[in-house]
Amino acid sequence: MINVILKGGNVAQFTEGITVAQVAASISEGLARAALVGAVDGEVKDLSYKIDRDCSVEIMTFADEAGKRAYRHTTSHIMAQAVKKLFPDARLAIGPAIENGFYYDFDIVRPFLPDDLVKIEAEMTRIIKEDAPLERFTLSRAEALKLMSDRNEPYKIELINDLPEEEELSFYRQGDFVDLCAGPHLTSTGKVKTFKLLSTAGAYWRGDEKNKMLQRIYGTSFLKKADLDEYLAFIEEAEKRDHRRIGKDLDLFSMSDATGPGLVLWHKKGGRIRTIIEEFWRREHYKNGYDIVYSPHIGRSTLWETSGHLGFFRENMYSPIVIEDQEYFLKPMNCPFHIAMYKSRMWSYRDLPQRWAELGTVYRYEKSGVLHGLMRVRGFTQDDAHIFCSPEQMPEEIRKVLKFCLHMLKYFGFEKYKLYLATRPAKTNAGSDEMWEAATAALQDAIRAEGLDCEIDEGGGAFYGPKIDIKIKDALNREWQCSTIQFDFNMPQRFDMSFIAASGEKKQPYMIHRALFGSIERFFGVLLEHYAGALPLWLSPVQVKLMPISDRQYEYTAELKKKLEELDYRVEADLRNEKIGYKIREAQLEKVPFMLIIGDKEVEAGQVSVRSRNQGDLGSMTFEKFIELMIEAISSKK
């Protein structure tokens, strides 16, 4: 007999060799029906897995992340089987479950067409109806290589050759389809109830642009049709909000092959929004006791050697530029420059804390395959700051920085966020035990003081210090990593930073890196998606559009424009000889918050006819009344 600890802590006894499925059945009939896989001592296994020792078992259903992944990974095998049936020359690469779905990469002579997806879906439906069992088997390395070479799967051969010698080589078979796979999987193809193929894309083998371009098919699967439909509606909405599309439609930014991938060109309206964000950012930083500093875009190799970047960050850095026989590197981070500023003089405890902020543009190498609009770029501007303080000041500084961070996010309309606290990793020689403990406690206290919860990533901190990451939730409830507050015990050591303490002795200051938005580019992308391009009035590049009905009202229009500009509003007048309905439609597409329609009646009465982007026609009113409306919309951040 073996003892099995079930979820909740109950211990049940079974005969040796019982399967995960049988354990589920012993708990309840309902659980046996819903069971997809099971975690045995924390390792996710097939339902057919035989248990031969004392262990813990947790049954996983579609409600569990691991259950979902097995479900979707099985769907990806079904898709691959269908593709092999319809395109026998397709070679299999990899096909994992991902967040919200799965994909499979194939080497195939031509890209898949929309019509192909319809055919593949039909074949998948047939395979599911067949309800073929998925069988797991293991082979020796020689047998595995022979099987894959008999089946002419060169990518699988490469994968096998790359696996460590001691790794067990497992395969899954369903019908005539066989795949090299660690699993786990569902017991049969019929367990997949509803699925949809979503899109295709080119993808380099192993994400490396030096390798061959493969063809990827993305799909998803759910237990219930209603959940699938809801998800499909969600992606449709997300596509409408795609910042790359909004950026093009509203003429905010672009990227071009001529200037290089991942390098952003901010057009005049995007530039206007960025200026508003940056001006606000600077004002708030001065208000919160920061100073603003500037540092160059390149720095000598000696700086990056001392900082350690040439050791642990080299692969993300651009090749050196040689000037007077000295190597210079484009900066991937601002920190070493701020440290150099710190080291330019002596500091006493009375001078601390120092809070230095910089909108610092950094350059990092990212593989071209992972570049994504403004979200993943090669050149970006961090809203960076470094805080240098004494151990006594540190807890208060952390409380302040978290409060400041939440204030900024809220101002831009983000009220929902999730906090992640990453603690000391197993291996690190930066910082003393006391420093790690004090820093982690300060982060925890600051979160508590704000009345917030956090998820703790035990041991997930960087080698140089613990941190809080804040992910904001947008209008579609998607999480975006933006803010970060991070201790650094490494740099102060490497650069031998110090201050004179009250006791007269030299001490090492605490160094805290923090970014509130993360990067301006990424934050701008998130803003565009959150608001679907219809930014609040205070951020809109054009706040008011004046639209005379005919040239008879040009003079009055010019007068209004001047008055609005004198009040610092951003105004445009549409003086084209077009029908008013056409002008309104265009302004609506440009997401201009307010339109003022000016006809003879308005001129005579000395009024304006107001149209709001969100509420439509608001009727005629005096200019003063309209200004009141604007002031209210700006202060309520609508």
As measured in angstroms, the least distance from the Cβ of 478 to Zn ion is 27
* Active site (annotated) includes residue 335: yes
* Active site (annotated) includes residue 243: no
As measured in angstroms, the least distance from the Cβ of 431 to Zn ion is 16
Closer CB to Zn ion, 157 or 181, in the complex: 181
Where is 493: in which H helix or E strand?
Answer: helix 491-494
Structure token pair of residue 229: 């439909």
Closer CB to Zn ion, 240 or 343, in the complex: 343
As measured in angstroms, the least distance from the Cβ of 96 to Zn ion is 7
Structure token pair of residue 553: 């009202």
As measured in angstroms, the least distance from the Cβ of 380 to Zn ion is 14
User: Residue 26, Cβ neighbours under 10 Å: how many?
Assistant: 14
H helices then E strands: how many in the chain? 20, 35
Closer CB to Zn ion, 172 or 328, in the complex: 172
Structure token pair of residue 606: 């000395």
Structure token pair of residue 119: 């055919």
**What is the maximum span of the chain, computed from C-alpha positions, in angstroms?**
96
Segment contacting Zn ion by CB under 5 A, of 307-315, 433-441, 498-506, 510-518 = 510-518
As measured in angstroms, the least distance from the Cβ of 518 to Zn ion is 12
Catalytic residue among 181, 335, 405, 482: 335
Which single residue is written with the structure tokens 């080291």?
Answer: 343
Length of the chain: 638
Taking each helix axis as running N to C, give the angle between helix 268-287 and helix 520-530, from 0 to 180 degrees, rounded to the nearest 10.
110
Rounded-to-10 torsion of CA 564, 570, 573, 579:
-110
Segment contacting Zn ion by CB under 5 A, of 209-217, 327-335, 454-462, 583-591 = 327-335
* Active site (annotated) includes residue 481: no
Residue nearest to Zn ion (CB): 181
* Active site (annotated) includes residue 513: yes
Closer CB to Zn ion, 181 or 192, in the complex: 181
Catalytic residue among 174, 382, 543, 553: 382
As measured in angstroms, the least distance from the Cβ of 111 to Zn ion is 23
In three state form, how does the secondary structure of 305-348 look? HHHCHHHHCHHHCCCCEEECCEEEEECCCCHHHHHHHHCCCCCE
Binding residues among 201-260 for Zn ion as defined by CB under 5 A: none
Closer CB to Zn ion, 274 or 513, in the complex: 513
Catalytic residue among 513, 514, 583, 611: 513
As measured in angstroms, the least distance from the Cβ of 509 to Zn ion is 14
- CA dist 218 and 232 (Å) reads 13
Structure token pair of residue 364: 């990092």
Binding residues among 428-457 for Zn ion as defined by CB under 5 A: none
Segment contacting Zn ion by CB under 5 A, of 48-56, 314-322, 513-521, 547-555 = 513-521
Number of residues that bind Zn ion (CB under 5 A): 3
What track of x and - describes contact with Zn ion for positions 267 through 306 (by CB under 5 A)?
Answer: ----------------------------------------
Catalytic residue among 467, 522, 545, 611: 467
Which single residue is written with the structure tokens 């952003």?
Answer: 264
As measured in angstroms, the least distance from the Cβ of 168 to Zn ion is 14
Nearest to residue 595, comparing CAs of 168, 603, 586?
Answer: 586
Asked if 181 is part of the footprint of Zn ion (rule: CB under 5 A), the reply reads yes
Closer CB to Zn ion, 44 or 181, in the complex: 181
Closer CB to Zn ion, 335 or 352, in the complex: 335
Closer CB to Zn ion, 384 or 529, in the complex: 384
Closer CB to Zn ion, 70 or 446, in the complex: 70
What track of x and - describes contact with Zn ion for positions 137 through 176 (by CB under 5 A)?
Answer: ----------------------------------------
Taking each helix axis as running N to C, give the angle between helix 394-411 and helix 433-449, from 0 to 180 degrees, rounded to the nearest 10.
40
Catalytic residue among 179, 383, 384, 574: 384
Binding residues among 386-415 for Zn ion as defined by CB under 5 A: none
Catalytic residue among 386, 424, 583, 611: 386
Cβ atoms of 603 and 554 closer than 8 Å:
no
What track of x and - describes contact with Zn ion for positions 330 through 369 (by CB under 5 A)?
Answer: -----x----------------------------------
Between vectors from CA 555 to CA 551 and to CA 560, what angle results, nearest 5°?
Answer: 120
Residue 136: what are its φ and ψ, rounded to 5°? -95, 140
As measured in angstroms, the least distance from the Cβ of 374 to Zn ion is 21
Where is 572: in which H helix or E strand?
Answer: strand 571-573
Closer CB to Zn ion, 184 or 247, in the complex: 184
Segment contacting Zn ion by CB under 5 A, of 178-186, 399-407, 499-507, 517-525 = 178-186
- CA dist 240 and 245 (Å) reads 8
As measured in angstroms, the least distance from the Cβ of 146 to Zn ion is 20
Query: Taken in order 22, 23, 26, 29, is the CA torsion positive or negative?
Result: negative
Nearest to residue 436, comparing CAs of 454, 462, 397?
Answer: 462
* Active site (annotated) includes residue 384: yes
Give the Å distances, CA to CA, from 143 to 43, 162, 220, 355, 553.
Answer: 26, 16, 33, 63, 85
Residue 560: partners with Cβ closer than 8 Å, 6 or more residues away: 546, 596, 598, 608, 623
- CA dist 530 and 150 (Å) reads 51
Which three-class secondary structure state does DSSP give residue 618? strand
User: Residue 13, Cβ neighbours under 10 Å: how many?
Assistant: 10
Taking each helix axis as running N to C, give the angle between helix 141-150 and helix 154-162, from 0 to 180 degrees, rounded to the nearest 10.
160
- Identity of residue 534: A
- Residues near Zn ion (CB under 5 A) are 181, 335, 513
Q: Which residues form the catalytic set?
A: 335, 364, 382, 384, 386, 467, 513
